[in-house]
A and B are shown apart, each in its own frame.
Chain A
Amino acid sequence: RKEVEQDPGPFNVPEGATVAFNCTYSNSASQSFFWYRQDCRKEPKLLMSVYSSGNEDGRFTAQLNRASQYISLLIRDSKLSDSATYLCVVNRGFNKFYFGSGTKLNVKP
Chain B
Amino acid sequence: NAGVTQTPKFQVLKTGQSMTLQCAQDMNHEYMSWYRQDPGMGLRLIHYSVGAGITDQGEVPNGYNVSRSTTEDFPLRLLSAAPSQTSVYFCASSYEASGSYEQYFGPGTRLTVT
Main secondary structure of the interface of B (DSSP, over half): strand
- Neighbouring B residues of A100 by C-beta, 8 Å: 42
A43 touches B101 (CB 8 A): no
Give the distance in Å from the alpha carbon of A86 to the alpha carbon of B49 in the complex: 26
Please, what's the 1-or-0 string for B24-51, where 1 marks a CB less than 8 Å from any CB in chain A? 0000000111010000111111001110
Q: Is B71 an interface residue (CB 8 A)?
A: no
Q: Is A64 an interface residue (CB 8 A)?
A: no
Please, what's the 1-or-0 string for A77-109, where 1 marks a CB less than 8 Å from any CB in chain B? 000000000010001001111111110000000
B31 touches A42 (CB 8 A): no
Q: Is B106 an interface residue (CB 8 A)?
A: yes
- Look across to chain B and name the residue whose beta carbon is closest to the beta carbon of A49: B100
Give the distance in Å from the alpha carbon of A98 to the alpha carbon of B58 in the complex: 10
Residues of B within 8 A of A (CB): 31-33, 35, 40-45, 48-50, 58, 90, 94, 99-108
A-B contact pairs, 5 of them (CB 8 A): A31-B100, A32-B101, A43-B105, A95-B101, A97-B103
Residues of A within 8 A of B (CB): 4, 8, 31-32, 34, 42-46, 49, 87, 91, 94-102
Q: A44-B43, A95-B33 provided; 8 other pairs, C-beta below 8 A?
A: A43-B90, A43-B105, A43-B107, A43-B108, A91-B101, A94-B31, A98-B45, A99-B43
